[in-house]
Structure 1
């Protein structure tokens, strides 16, 4: 029953935020009678709500519970002051993501009103193999997951360009060596993304911090020092011993 209830909740997506009972049944693959019974109970619990047209939408109770997730809202609360400093330096996009299985999950994004168009939204999933934050998280993931990802047929989307496993493995090694991932994309607009790892109290990489700017707007070598310093400062706030001992580099505006 829990699996079926979760199937109803996960049937909602960024492009499918409100559904009738019939639509919810089809999207979740759940029989209509079961969908009705579960939807009524989820309404009572606040996990679902009804909009002005009577369609089902995700309820605020789920948002309330999700805000307790330490790898999401908790990390975001610590990271926001540092992200704001980085945003002031770029006035484009600043992203914070964590790894969830074989995806990167975006937990926060600061963006200027006139920033270059990107496909990323808070709460959305990003591919590990073709985004700045994804490459950082994959580079520092366990070898088993790296092998699983590299064994799949991978494509850069939305460009539709195949990814060479050998080239990706070299890229991951370079990310570990330099502490940065640099990605240039042509769609939906020409952008450059530079990402750095964020470490936690056990010194493992717990998140990735990234800036995304228009191609030609800034070079990676210009963005890298500020990004490194901000990621290191955030890591210190999370208790990383390696970052506490890291020498040099510009200091962020906030301690």
Structure 2
């Protein structure tokens, strides 16, 4: 492993649910000796990528957040979309997600969680396989044929008894998403949750992100949310300069 690879392995030891680690845990998860892990964590602390608590545990440092703010598919998109996400959140009282694709995974770059709504596992920075999330289905449906075939021929992990793991069924679902411009994922990650998602387009009309809502399966008919999520996704697309979104007004109240 290269020197850069060892540094990245230390950072990669952290993950959702593992935001605070001891030196021994970092050593084990990164596959490094304690001596090497100690030296590298020191270098990363000096640079600001790691911080150390009073109890001796390590956490991700603020300097990484500063760098993440420069990612055009991350915080810049989030800042532009924020007013529209908040309007959607207040009008629906549902969980709201903004997501982008990273390889065969969907990554949430913003989440607005509704109090008292259905339980969700999503959080800012959370990753899921494309095929199990509503936003992921949108991003997969508009991805290149190579990406689609890679997912369809790869292992399709099951999270609930309702998770779709049949490639043929998934292929039909993706075709339907392209036809309707909406993805609906019922109880794919957690039971009782229904995700509705729509594509967000960039300056070249390419799909650059996905907008999602999650509601309780008995709370409302998913189809009733189609107009509002489509209107919001179109408004964000227009703000990004998507030609196909020009001339459409947004009304979510």
Provide the residue aligned with 2:109 in structure 1. 107
Provide the residue aligned with 2:25 in structure 1. 23
Provide the residue aligned with 1:5 in structure 2. 7
Q: Is the Cα contact below 8 Å between 2:162 and 2:188 reproduced in 1?
A: no
Residue 153 (structure 1) aligned to one of 152, 155, 161: 155
* TM-score between the two structures when normalised by the length of structure 2: 0.94
Q: Is the Cα contact below 8 Å between 2:163 and 2:187 reproduced in 1?
A: no
How many residue pairs get aligned? The number is 251
* TM-score between the two structures when normalised by the length of structure 1: 0.94
Provide the residue aligned with 1:251 in structure 2. 250
**SS class of match (1:70):** coil
Could you list the runs of 5+ residues in structure 1 that have no partner in the other structure? none
Residue 90 (structure 1) aligned to one of 70, 92, 114: 92
How far apart in 1 are the matches of 2:44 and 2:193?
42
How far apart in 2 are the matches of 1:3 and 1:78?
34
Residue 74 (structure 1) aligned to one of 73, 76, 79: 76
Q: Is the Cα contact below 8 Å between 1:159 and 1:187 reproduced in 2?
A: no
Q: Is the Cα contact below 8 Å between 1:199 and 1:240 reproduced in 2?
A: yes
The offset of 1:87, in angstroms, is 0.8
Provide the residue aligned with 2:200 in structure 1. 198
Residues 12-21 or 154-163, more deviating:
154-163
How far apart in 1 are the matches of 2:72 and 2:119?
29
**SS class of match (2:212):** strand
The offset of 1:242, in angstroms, is 1.1
Could you list the runs of 5+ residues in structure 2 that have no partner in the other structure? none
Deviations 1:96-136 (A, max 9, x none): 00001110000001122212101111101022111100000
- The verdict on how the C-alpha distance between 1:212 and 1:161 changes in structure 2, with shifts beyond 3 A counting, is closer
Q: Which segments of structure 1 move beyond 3 Å, counting only runs of 4 or more?
A: 158-162, 186-189
